[in-house]
Chain A
Amino acid sequence: MSAPADLVSARGLKCVFDVSKPWISRILDGEPRRLLKAVDGVDFAIRRGETFGIVGESGSGKSTLARMVVGLLRPSGGEVRIEGVDMAATRDPLARRDVRRRMQMIFQDPYASLNPRWRAGDIIAEPILAFGLGAGEANGGEKAPDKARVMARVDELLRLVGLDPADGRKYPHEFSGGQRQRIAIARALASNPDFIVCDEPTSALDVSIQAQILNLMRDLQDKLGLTYLLITHNLAVVRHMATRVGVMYLGRLVEIASTEALFARPRHPYTRMLLDAVPDLAMSGRARTPVGGEPPNPIEPPSGCPFHPRCPRAVERCKNEAPLLSDDVACHFPLDDPAGPMPGKPV
């Protein structure tokens, strides 16, 4: 199945939300159920020690994907395996607990992800206590936590993320956005995880603070051998952080490639479009084509290839037949395919 180097693998992952009206209104109005396929059959594997980036616009399902990977949402179909263990299917509570300990999540909004009534130190100590990691050695196993050891670990974590141990006594409101995100990272690291899912970790932060957090994440990866799943809409952040990238559009992965290849030679027309849309900071005057249209409503996705109404290369076939991800690109006529139709020919 998956190569031994794969830490995380997802197969046929789906998430469907029922967005219908209440059943009685539905019956009275004679309306069918309305389902929103937030994630619609996604496969990928994340190798140990790499940073796998997922980019996409709002509504592409990237956050839903992240929540399924960490187990905050139960997939409607498919499976996520962490080192071969399927969290949703495992009956063994100990195995499940171990998988939970080994993966953690960093959220987008550091103003909402920290309990305002807890001190920073207590926030960071919670995973240590919850997983029984602070138990005194003499007691052995999961006995009463050794307070001094937990405190020492919290101090160590605070130092690791560039804060002062004295900051552990403060409340979240006393910190700036960047410092709060550091606390969130310290909390994520508290259970000694080897896999961290980062959902837009810097999009609520200013650029100079973003640079601090991105550098910290890279340093921690080097130091602790972490594996990251990085969800973001910012292509420059992905370019800087990720080793491999998956591009999502309307609940599907349309392209997976190494970061170098994706940015040098995008193969899916949507990837091309996204790259062209990024404002040119270097003012290098690189050739760009204007972007048309907006992402469609995921409740009523277009037929065939979900990108065809916006695609400059779409032909009749794209309207009718949804391309599957094969050879890491989901397009009937990838940009590197010499047999593809001429660009610019409308449907």
Chain B
Amino acid sequence: MTDPLLRVRDLRVEFATRRGPLVALDGVSFDIAPGEILGVVGESGAGKSLTGLAIIGLLDPPGHIAKGEITLGGRRIDNLSPAAMRKIRGRRIGMIFQDPLTSLNPLLRIGDHLVETILAHSSLTPRQARERAIGWLAEVGIPAPEKRIDGYPHEFSGGMRQRVVIALALCAEPALVIADEPTTALDVSVQAQIIAVLKKLTRVHGAAVMLITHDMGVIAETADRVAVMYAGRIAEIGKVGEVVREPLHPYAKGLMAAIPTLEGRLARLAQIPGAMPRLSAIPQGCAFNPRCPRVFDRCRIERPPLLAVGERGAACWLYERNGAPAVATGIEARR
């Protein structure tokens, strides 16, 4: 068993407000192994992006980590000073954001972005850095990179920009890449290309990936394991094939059934009644209990921890067997 690269334990993120703290993430625990792609899915407001931001240390105040522990390669990173965190960001953890236009500076040439990043994280000369940058552009599939390197972001299409952003995130060879909705702003045909590039490059360079998206199709295509989030908590975590085909948690079940597929026209899509609660009104017990078709008394009182079910973890009282609940973050249960 390999040691996890990233270990998140019992992470709690709060936003201080005048009416008291708002708990945006509560008891989030998971691991990512080196070279592994962990998908994080959930609906808007489920806390997917916030989890990524907490790991990379970019939570905007008043948001802050109130509890829990994040370690990267065995070293704790959640309590580092801003200066120390800045060293990790980029070099150890790369980040890909949703909108490729806003993550590039419109006044800088594509090459300047890459060269700056490469120089900041290596001891190359500017000339060598430029060579390296051209190499990266070629690797992410930009045609004629030695010419395009002098182009400005506005001269690139959305898909090409996202390729540049991927090159930018990977060019310092980080151990972990956090990709937050990397394909959401793109057309389907381009989306497939970007996923392929992301998957290939992270495999080649051995980077672990946390892939945050609301698109279950992208996860099914790309990830090794998946965590389904709901109202700031992990509802279910496990191997992609298992979670997609036979979800355990009633929320994950409802979510899968609600997705229309290309396979056929159903009479109706399964629908989960209601909507996700606001952070200020997360119900007592299981956060999903008011919408759950299989709710029983205990769900309304006591919050279920992640319970081990085979190799998976599900935060649902339905799966409590043998009395003692076990925290399952996936990796302990693997093989």
Q: Which A residues form the contact surface with B (CB < 8 A)?
A: 57-58, 176, 178-179, 206-212, 214-215, 218, 233-237, 239-240, 259, 263, 273-283, 290-292, 294-295
Contacts and interface: CB of A to CB of B under 8 A. Distances in A.
Contacts of A291: 189-190, 192-193
Contacts of A276: 192
Interface stretch (B124-132, B216-224, B299-307): B216-224
A127 to B, nearest CB: 27
A176 B259 CA distance: 20
A294 B43 contact: no
B90 interface: no
A200 B93 CA distance: 36
A294 B271 contact: no
26 contacts: A58-B187, A178-B275, A206-B44, A207-B259, A208-B255, A208-B258, A210-B258, A233-B188, A235-B188, A235-B262, A236-B260, A236-B262, A239-B261, A259-B265, A277-B188, A278-B188, A279-B195, A279-B215, A281-B220, A281-B244, A281-B259, A282-B261, A283-B245, A291-B193, A294-B157, A294-B159
Interface of B: 43-44, 157-160, 187-193, 195-196, 214-218, 220-221, 240-241, 244-245, 254-255, 258-266, 268-272, 275-276
Most-contacted residue by chain B among A58, A176, A206 (CB, 10 A): A206
Contact of B220 (A207, A208, A279): A279
A117 to B, nearest CB: 23
B290 to A, nearest CB: 14
Contacts of A295: 187, 189
A311 to B, nearest CB: 12
Given A208-B271, A211-B271, A281-B244, 12 more contacts: A206-B44, A207-B216, A208-B272, A215-B271, A236-B262, A239-B261, A239-B265, A240-B260, A276-B192, A277-B188, A278-B217, A282-B220
A276 B121 CA distance: 39
A282 B158 CA distance: 28
A236 B259 CA distance: 8
Given A279-B192, A283-B245, A291-B189, A218 B221 contact: no
Nearest to A291: B189
Contacts of B159: 294
Nearest to B220: A281
A214 to B, nearest CB: 6
B262 A263 contact: yes
B192 A290 contact: yes
A58 B275 CA distance: 29
Contacts of A211: 258-260, 269-272
Given A178-B275, A214-B269, A274 B44 contact: no
Given A208-B255, A279-B192, A294-B190, A239 B269 contact: no
B214 A233 contact: no
A240 B245 contact: no
Contacts of A206: 43-44, 214, 276
A292 to B, nearest CB: 8
A204 to B, nearest CB: 10
A278 B261 CA distance: 10
